[in-house]
A and B are shown apart, each in its own frame.
Chain A
Amino acid sequence: MIPRACGWAADASGGSISKAASPWGVALAAKPGQFDRMSYAIRLAAEDLVARASGALFWPAQELLCVSDLHLGKAERMARRAGALLPPYDSRDTLARLEAEIAVLRPRTVICLGDSFDDGASLAGLEEDARLWLARLMAGRAWVWITGNHDPGPLEIAGTHRAEVQIAGLRFRHIAEAGGAAKAGGAGEISGHYHPKVRLAGKAWRCFLADADRMILPAFGTYTGGLWADDPAFDGLFGPAALAISCGGTVARAMPKPRASTRSR
């Protein structure tokens, strides 16, 4: 846990985080890396970001929290379509984890990176207490809904609705545009959609994928699967020094992104 009162703890050994006079009382030093078990700092298009063990991305300079692929209402959608009757607790579990991150990080802005709802009718199908819960989380902060392939239509919910959004040096969209970031001269791109996961120590973990230009977030929703980080779908999106930052537990840890194109270690 990161107590807000004292800001980011200074890291004596690596000096990766230092206290500074940002509006939030926090700034990141030049050298990225691990600064506590739950957070991994990374520099993307000259911006300092924090990949969290929860699967959320935090941008201290902007006091901005970004989560992707919540898939709220997934169980409800399957039941509605005469599919499996999955346990109807996915939305509340997703919201509970989101609330925990908001409580710790106190963002001024939250960006949901698309596929926030499992389909166009999922919002209407959300149980009443979940809707109220969501409203409570949104109160007092800017909230941006990025459009995803699962929730393309206009949604009847407060907040700003955008296909993509640019904040300082970073562009937020649902699906990464091949070659886009690099060609745009290092413009950072933050996206979701693919639900990347990686295998480490005989276990599958949700993960961030990132290089200096681009980052893909893991799915934050409870009922979501994943795509292996070495899937050819990621070919051409990342440079050779890309990282996979595993999360989905209590630790965010970095490893080189496994690549499909390399056939030897």
Chain B
Amino acid sequence: MTQLPPALANWFTAKGWTLHPHQYEMLARAGDPATLLIAPTGGGKTLAGFLPTLAELTTSPAKGLHTLYISPLKALAADIRRNLRTPIEGAGLAVRVEDRTGDTSQTQRRRQRADPPQILLTTPESLALLLSYEDAPRLFAGLQRVILDELHALAESKRGDQMTLLLARLQTLSPGLRRVGLSATVEDPPALARFLAADTGILLADPGPAPDIAMLETDAPPPWAGGGGRYAIPAILEQVKRHRTTLIFHNTRAQAELFFHDLWLANDESLPIGIHHGSLSREQRERVEAAMAAGELRAIVCTGSLDLGIDWGDVDLVIQVGAPKNVKRLVQRIGRANHRYNAPSKALLLPANRFEVVECKAALDAVRDGTLDGEPRGPGPRDVLCQHVLMTACSGPFDADALFAEVITAGPYAALTQAEFEATLDFVATGGYALRAYDRWQRLKQTNGRWALRDPRAAAVIRQNLGTIIDVETLKVRLRNRVGGTPLGEVEEAFAATLTPGDTFLIGGQVVRYEGLREMTVEVSHQPGRDPKVAVFNGTKFATSTLLTQRILDIFQQDRWPDLPAHTASWLALQREVSRLPDAHSLLCESFAHDGREHLVVYGFAGRNAQQTLGLLLTKAMEDAGLAPLGFVATDYATLIWGLDAVQDAAPLFDLTALQDGLETWLAGNAVMKRTFRASAIIAGLIERSHQGRRKSGRQATFSSDILYDTLRKYDPDHLLLQITREEAMRGLIDFSRIKEMLARVTGRIETRRLPRITPLAAPLFLEPGRIPVQGMGRERLADDAARRLMEAAGLA
């Protein structure tokens, strides 16, 4: 049992603070090898994590690194540094705390390696970099404790998988290392505990009172489609005036920017309002954070960059704009409001369109019933392991057996077989190709039983590529006929690829018309006063839980909707009148022409993964039937397919047996697989990340990862990276058994409604992000038409 040192105890007493029971309990468990603390936001989690460190460093001061704190966000590291300063300086403790992130200067980083602070605050990527240096054993030899903050968020991604491998490495360098995980409420604490370490003790803090959540109802009706919630700005300003500090969360950065712009225009009383998201410069972010901490702001418009546990003090209202997609995320988000531990958090949901009104209603019911949701994560992906082996090689020669033994202590890799590990090592060392023609294919070589980089100079490139976050390739958007000038913004390259001239989308606060691509720039023209046709692909796409999906279907089945706002009830009634509302026993398909293209909507309500798989299957069937599909987009509820020819009866498209021929080729060749391959190839170290500016100067020297994908499929179909790609894609798709199940349920009840125009329920789908192009005969016909039109226009035909 670690005691609270008198200096700290006295200081707490002087401030009139008493520790929460779980904070005492963390001191009591200070000697345990691994502890997972699950506490609501505002419960003093972070202090609970650091108390044993402060106690140990006060009782027996020692130089060198004692505690490593790892958070998924740079901003969090800086915030914690500020917050720790208060008790450390207040109690007069001689403890040095520093942070180290991508924002830290080179000089500072070098100094930290030579003379480390006792507490270092960092991110998984910066830790990977530290561990890749030859001096890592010296730096971490005396490490006593590691604190992983917001573990629930880390555990959802490859960053978390990488983190567990780094922990295994740290444990080897410092066998006595104790681990602490801090997490918001999760649905399966033992699973998260296994993720942290094999022998983790779980400490559940008092969850506090139930949150106070409601839907923000407005006089102005929300639009049929689209996001952003700008229709509700007067109502939101009213709420901001009534509260001390309001956080306004958006699902994407673009939406946050647009909303902030309009909010500012409507802000007649000049209330101090700020904006915070990951694309802003460090200076801008820090300015807002400081103003917020000083209580100078009445509202902050923000995205997920403020999502994770930053301690803002006086927030008393959280507004979530747009559907929260999953309930767990919603509960974690609203934990932000009212940081007083024993007061209920207050939050308002603002649906951005009428479909989201239904979603919000379903989400609120779920929160009231206390049902959290979430998908279990599969075993640790091997592209991350490839990178880990490379990183290990950077720090010095290693023994393969020892590394394998170390790796399987990491929770997600516990079930990794020796053969799988050897295949991974072989890929890193030689490329792992079936063709073994050359001794030149050697990145690692074995000397005296130990593996080392063949060329030590390769370490610099490997270090530059560490990390599992894959930046998407973006293109600048400019107005045509405007030479120079600032671009309107950036869109993802994959999004630009789905555009055809004439499409309109929203960027930088205005609706623009896509004209064409020129070099690496998207050219657009003004299109004032028109609703955008497609959404900018941006931000994370969260899957709605199956639980919410079922609740929504239940709402649809009601005769009337007295619980919903009148505008949404009449919107649903209109859908029932012009088409019908989907139910669980049949499969509704709507077919209509819109904006010069034919569309088919399949309301499967089967979850995003299944709907995405369905999109791939149906476009294959349409291709076979000569219906020239051009692309599709999937949501949790429906798949929208667009193409050149109309589908009169969708039922024959669902004949799975007829689909078998060439299905594998179709699936392997689709854009989802190619994107997945690119991400895995970067993480595994097969291709380098494209650094800012390099792509342009690289010009014809660099070639698309699609070429590597196609080449491997042709000549080496069992290659490790293709195995990884298939495994990864399966996380985003689902196996056919689920689709077959759904079809068996609705067989004979597939109904196609051919309609004169877009329906109310289909409208939101047109602004969904994540559109997937289909490369088939439709694309060829489009290319023929486009080329012919261009030739005619130029008088060359």
Give the B-binding residues of A (Cβ under 8 A). 76, 79-80, 82-90, 92-93, 125, 127, 194-195, 199-205, 219, 222-228, 230-231, 241, 243, 246, 249, 251, 253-256, 258, 260, 263-265
Contact = CB atoms under 8 A, between A and B. Distances in A.
A163 B702 CA distance: 26
B326 to A, nearest CB: 32
Contacts of A76: 438, 440
B704 interface: yes
Contact of A201 (B441, B687, B779): B779
Nearest to A241: B796
Contacts of B786: 200-201, 255
A89 B430 CA distance: 14
A224 B703 contact: yes
Contacts of B516: 199, 258
B373 interface: no
Interface string B755-775: 000000000000000000101
Nearest to A263: B481
The 9 closest A-B pairs by CB, nearest first: A85-B431, A225-B703, A82-B455, A195-B700, A201-B782, A201-B783, A89-B715, A256-B794, A255-B787
Given A194-B700, A230-B519, A263-B483, A251 B783 contact: yes
Contact of B686 (A85, A246, A258): A85
Interface string B663-695: 000000000000000000000011110000000
A203 B775 contact: yes
Contacts of A225: 698-704
Given A202-B498, A203-B783, A225-B700, A85 B443 contact: yes
Contacts of A254: 787, 791, 796
A55 B426 CA distance: 36
A87 B711 contact: yes
A25 to B, nearest CB: 30
Interface in B738-797: 773, 775, 779-780, 782-787, 790-791, 793-794, 796
Nearest to A225: B703
Contacts of A251: 780, 783-784
Contacts of A86: 431, 686, 708
B431 A93 contact: no
Most A CB contacts (10 A, CB to CB) among B498, B785, B787, B796 go to: B787
Given A85-B430, A219-B700, A202 B711 contact: no
Nearest to A199: B517
B386 to A, nearest CB: 11
Interface of B: 430-431, 433, 435, 437-438, 440-443, 454-455, 457-458, 461, 480-481, 483, 497-500, 515-520, 685-688, 698-704, 707-708, 711-712, 714-716, 719, 773, 775, 779-780, 782-787, 790-791, 793-794, 796
Given A89-B716, A202-B497, A227 B699 contact: yes
A45 B386 CA distance: 55
Contacts of B782: 201-202
A255 B703 contact: no
A72 to B, nearest CB: 14
Nearest to B698: A225
A95 B516 CA distance: 35
A200 B787 contact: yes
6 contacts: A85-B686, A89-B435, A125-B440, A127-B438, A225-B703, A253-B783
A245 to B, nearest CB: 9
A265 B685 CA distance: 42
A80 B442 CA distance: 8
B779 A84 contact: no
A92 B715 contact: yes
A77 to B, nearest CB: 9
Given A223-B703, A225-B702, A246-B787, A260 B518 contact: yes
A87 B517 contact: no
